[in-house]
Amino acid sequence: MSNNLKILLLIFLVVAGGLVLAQALQEESSNGSTASPTIATTPPATTNISTPTTDAMDPNNNTEFIMTENESVKTIVVMAANYAYTPSEIRVKQGEKVEIKLEIQEGMHDFVIDELDVKTQVLTAGQTETVTLDTSQSGEYEFYCSVGNHRQMGMVGKLIVE
């Protein structure tokens, strides 16, 4: 292959890659929302435990989450924004019945834990989905967003079953 043909092929690949990236970024921003997090009302039979709240869009923020418990199930609300989960670390007891309620604050995201066979649908801003966790085995499990390259951009967290 001649050098001119190699250069043309390289230029074509760079331009095509740039177009794909621009399309993905445009779709991501058009689906975004700047709505602030909301807390749903809790049914009367439920105890609501809430930690202090700070900016949910801060990927280093591990303090904002909502946990509700009734006699049989603990529900932990995980908020997803570009490109972070809040909280990014979740601790539960082995054998405890736990649900994760994923709430999308902005963008398009999902919630995946490969080792526990957990995967939500891809959701957009304002949508929610609840999944049940198998906490029968103690250990540390990574959760992540499988949309595009969100995982590589740091949209990961840790589930610790103690």
Domain range summary for the chain, segments of one domain joined by +:
1-30, 47-161
Q: What value does the mean pLDDT take over residues 70-85? A: 90
CA geometry: angle at 122 spanning 116 and 124, to 5°?
135
Mean pLDDT for the chain overall: 77
Largest CA distance in the chain: 75
Count of helix runs (H) and strand runs (E) in the chain: 1, 13
Q: What value does the mean pLDDT take over residues 90-114? A: 96
Cα gap 78→103, rounded to integer Å? 6
Give residue-wise pLDDT tens across range 105-149: 999 999 999 999 999 999 999 999 999 999 999 999 999 999 999
In this prediction, residue 4 carries a pLDDT of 73
Fold (CATH) for 47-161: Immunoglobulin-like (2.60.40)
Cα gap 58→60, rounded to integer Å? 5
Higher pLDDT, 125 or 68: 125
